[in-house]
Structure 1
Amino acid sequence: MNLLALYACCFLFAGTNEPTATLQVQITNVKNGNGKIWIALFRPDEKFGTNKPGIAKIISVTSADDQTATFELAPGRYALAMYHDLNGNDLMDRNFVGIPKEPYGFSKNFRPRFSAPSFEDCAFELLPGGKTISVKLTN
């Protein structure tokens, strides 16, 4: 019976090792040494810019130096959005028109003019060998 259980375990866990690639995100133009940086990664089939990203990470900021975040992901297309929550209220503060009052950034350093960016505006390819991207926060 133990041999049967061993075979069953091997069968169940065989093939579950999805290949991963390392995405390193360098965050520049950090002006304030407190708060948190919220990072959201979206896949093409997810609604970019929603409050429910497929992959998210929060970094505590303790200095006004550049920050780094590392993700282990399946190779593929992604788009990244982030903001620096300066006051720690877990929200991106906006003015009465809806324009962000806290620093934010997107992959490919896309800077929106009159509306929020689309997935395609910020999309990048993560290859099996990994990738490093740099995102500059707004002032």
Structure 2
Amino acid sequence: MKSLILPMLSLLLSGYQQPAATLKIEITNVKSGHGKLWFAVFRPGEKFGEGQPSIYKILEVKSTANHAATFQLAPGQYALAVYHDLNKNDLLDKNFIGIPKEPYGFSNNFRPKFSPPKFEDCAFELTASGKQISVKLTN
């Protein structure tokens, strides 16, 4: 009997998923009323700001008003990168030395000086009760 309890408990808990929390993101300083906003949400251990993230959203931009996106995520630590794809080429255009030519922003409104930000620079905690953040795009 005792030998059955542990496997049964393990089976029951394997289907358990942590309830989702709501992450609300407001984007400010939108200077152009066209293009797309690309939101990329990263978890610890993922390559922050590189490649295709596993959690992302794309919104059409039709005005210079503030824009908002919502994600349903498990509580935990995350970091956000967003950019305004002005010409809709699905790329963050950069100049010849790698500096972005299109508006961008990060959670914690982190502004990199001489190198791309690290996950730790932009990390925030999403609790079970949810979180609202605001990101100001660069000019």
Q: Same fold (TM over 0.5)?
A: yes
Whether 1:120 aligns to 2:113 is no
Aligned to 1:98: 98
SS at match of 2:120: helix
Aligned to 1:33: 33
Give the aligned residue type for 2:67. Q
In the alignment, the residues of structure 2 paired with residue 131 and residue 32 of structure 1 have an alpha-carbon distance, to the nearest angstrom, of 27
Aligned to 1:52: 52
**TM-score w.r.t. length of structure 1:** 0.88
1:17 deviates by: 3.9
In the alignment, the residues of structure 2 paired with residue 47 and residue 78 of structure 1 have an alpha-carbon distance, to the nearest angstrom, of 12
In the alignment, the residues of structure 2 paired with residue 30 and residue 16 of structure 1 have an alpha-carbon distance, to the nearest angstrom, of 40
In the alignment, the residues of structure 2 paired with residue 16 and residue 31 of structure 1 have an alpha-carbon distance, to the nearest angstrom, of 44
Q: Which runs of 5+ in 2 are unaligned?
A: 1-10
Aligned to 1:66: 66
Superposed CA RMSD: 1.6
Q: Give the count of matched residue pairs.
A: 129
Aligned to 1:138: 138
1:92 deviates by: 0.6
In the alignment, the residues of structure 2 paired with residue 44 and residue 71 of structure 1 have an alpha-carbon distance, to the nearest angstrom, of 17
In the alignment, the residues of structure 2 paired with residue 108 and residue 41 of structure 1 have an alpha-carbon distance, to the nearest angstrom, of 13
1:43–1:54 Cα contact (<8 Å) kept? no
Query: Which residues in structure 2 correspond to 1:73-92 (within 5 Å)?
Result: 73-92=73-92
Deviations 1:63-114 (A, max 9, x none): 0100000000000000000100001111111111110000000000000000
1:28–1:134 Cα contact (<8 Å) kept? yes
Q: Percent identity?
A: 66
Q: Which runs of 5+ in 1 are unaligned?
A: 1-10
**TM-score w.r.t. length of structure 2:** 0.88
1:130 deviates by: 0.1
1:45 deviates by: 1.6
